[in-house]
Chain A
Amino acid sequence: MKQEISALMDGELFEDEAESLLVHIKRDSGARKDWEIYHLIGDVLRQPEHIHSDLSTKVRERMQDEPTVLVPRARAAKQKLRTFALSAAASLSALGVVVWMSLQVGHEVAPLMVARQTALRSVSTQIQPKPNDYLMAHQEFSPSTYMNGGASYIRTVSYGPDEK
C-alpha cells in the first residue's frame, strides 16, 4: 500500500487505482500519515530552509465551522450536456464534409471509369484469340493447380464470342 502511495504522489498511478487509493488514504490514519511524511520529505529535499510545523490539523479544526461545499449537480449535468452537444455537432459536421466530398468525387470519376472499362475490354478481346503456347505447354508446373502431372492429359478449350 505504501508503495502505491509513493507512486500516487508522483502521479504514476492509473486513474482507477488512484481513485480507490485516495479513498483509502482518507479513511486510514496510518496511510494519511505516510502521505504527509512522504510530502514532508519532498519539501525538505527541495527547500530545506522553509520547513515549518504541520498546519493541516489547524486548518482541519477551522474547517469544522465551515459549511460543506457542494457544487450543484445541475451545473455539472449542464456542463456534461454542453460537452456532449458540442462533440455531437462536431461529429455531424465532419460526417457532412466527408459525404459531400465523396459525392463530389463520385460524379467526376464515374464517366472516367466507364471509359477505362471499355478500353480494357477492347484490349482483352484483342489478346484472347491468341493462345499462349508457352503457358499451355508448362501449365502442369503451375503452382495454382493441384493436378501436377495430370495437366498434360487435359485438353483446354476456350470460347471467344467473335470466333463463332
Chain B
Amino acid sequence: MADREVDQQLVERVQRGDKHAFDLLVSKYQRKLGRLISRFVRDSAEAEDVTQDAFIKAYRALPGFRGESAFYTWLYRIGINTAKNHLLANKRRPPVNTLFDAEEAESFEEASLLREVSTPENELMSKQVVNAVQASLQQLPEDLRSALTLREIEGLSYEEIASVMDCPIGTVRSRIFRAREAVAENLRPLLETSKGNRW
C-alpha cells in the first residue's frame, strides 16, 4: 500500500466522522506544511498559527476532497492560500519568490533566505533534537544507517533499497525499523523533559 493510499485511507476515515484519523495526518504533515508556510510568514509564532488555521481549513474542506490529487498536494494548496490570505488581511504582500506550485513545494530549498525567527527556548530545543538525531544516526552500524538514509533522504522504496544494498526486502524492512527505533530511543528522554511545547 503506497504512502498516498495510506493518506487516502485516513481521509476516508475522517470523512466517515472519525476525527482521530485527522490527528495522524496532522502529525505526519505538520512540519512539511509549517516549513512551506514559513516561506510566506516569516515570524515563527505567526507561521505556527497560520499552520494550525490551514489544518482546520483542510478539515472543514475534507467533505469536498475526492482523492483526485494526492492529499498532501491538496493540503499544501490550502496552506499556500491560507498564508497568502493571512498576509493580505494584515495588509502585507506575499514574497515574490514564492510563486511555485504546491507539488514542488516539498523539494523547495530556501532555508537560508527565510530562516524563521524563533524564541531562544524553541531554538535551543530544536537544536537539541537535531543534534540528538544526527548523533544517533552516526552511532548506528553502517547497514542500518545506509538503509534509513536511503529511505528518508533519498526516498527510495524498500525494493530499490534491497537492490542497492543487495539484500532481501525483509532485511531492509528490519534494518529501517531498527535504525528508527535506535534513534527514537535516544530522542525519547529529550522529548519527555521538554516543558510546555510538545515535540
In contact, B173 and A55 (Cβ under 8 angstroms): no
Chain B: CB-nearest residue to A47: B35
Task: Flag whether B93 is at the interface (Cβ < 8 A).
Answer: no
CA A47 to CA B38, docked complex, whole Å: 13
Chain A: CB-nearest residue to B14: A69
Query: A87 → chain B, closest Cβ, in Å?
Result: 18
Chain B CB within 10 A, most for which of A2, A7, A10, A15: A10
Query: A12 → chain B, closest Cβ, in Å?
Result: 5
Choose from A10, A18, A71 the contact partner of B15 (Cβ within 8 Å): A71
In contact, A18 and B1 (Cβ under 8 angstroms): yes
Q: Which residues of A contact B52 (CB under 8 A)?
A: 55, 58-59, 62
In contact, B27 and A35 (Cβ under 8 angstroms): yes
Interface residues of B in 108-149 (CB under 8 A from A): 111, 115-116, 118, 122, 125-126, 129-130, 133-134, 137, 148-149
In contact, A47 and B56 (Cβ under 8 angstroms): no
A-B residue pair count with CB separations less than 8 angstroms: 182
Query: A59 → chain B, closest Cβ, in Å?
Result: 5
In contact, A14 and B181 (Cβ under 8 angstroms): no
Query: A46 → chain B, closest Cβ, in Å?
Result: 6
Task: Flag whether A63 is at the interface (Cβ < 8 A).
Answer: yes
Task: Flag whether B23 is at the interface (Cβ < 8 A).
Answer: yes
Q: Which residues of B contact A10 (CB under 8 A)?
A: 3, 151, 157-158, 176
Q: Which residues of A contact B88 (CB under 8 A)?
A: none
> How many interface residues does B have (CB within 8 Å)?
73
In contact, A40 and B187 (Cβ under 8 angstroms): yes
CA A43 to CA B10, docked complex, whole Å: 20
Task: Flag whether A113 is at the interface (Cβ < 8 A).
Answer: no
CA A106 to CA B173, docked complex, whole Å: 56
Query: B32 → chain A, closest Cβ, in Å?
Result: 7
Choose from A39, A48, A70 the contact partner of B134 (Cβ within 8 Å): A48
Given contacts A6-B180, A40-B187, A55-B30, contact A62 B1 (CB under 8 A): no
Query: Does more than half of chain B's interface fall in helix, strand or loop, or is it mixed?
Result: helix
In contact, B184 and A41 (Cβ under 8 angstroms): yes
Task: Flag whether B87 is at the interface (Cβ < 8 A).
Answer: no
Task: Flag whether A51 is at the interface (Cβ < 8 A).
Answer: yes
Task: Flag whether A25 is at the interface (Cβ < 8 A).
Answer: yes
Q: Which residues of B contact A40 (CB under 8 A)?
A: 31, 129, 187, 199
In contact, B34 and A70 (Cβ under 8 angstroms): no
CA A7 to CA B174, docked complex, whole Å: 9
Q: Which residues of A contact B151 (CB under 8 A)?
A: 10
Chain B CB within 10 A, most for which of A12, A13, A52: A52
Interface residues of B in 1-58 (CB under 8 A from A): 1-6, 9-10, 13-24, 26-28, 30-32, 34-35, 38, 44, 48, 51-52, 55-56
A sample of 23 inter-chain contacts (CB < 8 A) reads A8-B6, A11-B4, A18-B6, A26-B21, A32-B24, A38-B180, A38-B184, A39-B28, A41-B180, A44-B129, A47-B35, A48-B134, A50-B35, A50-B116, A53-B125, A53-B194, A53-B197, A54-B197, A55-B34, A55-B52, A66-B19, A66-B60, A68-B19
Q: Please report B residues at the A interface, Cβ cutoff 8 Å.
A: 1-6, 9-10, 13-24, 26-28, 30-32, 34-35, 38, 44, 48, 51-52, 55-56, 59-60, 62-63, 111, 115-116, 118, 122, 125-126, 129-130, 133-134, 137, 148-149, 151-153, 157-158, 173-174, 176-177, 180-181, 183-184, 187-188, 191, 194, 197-199
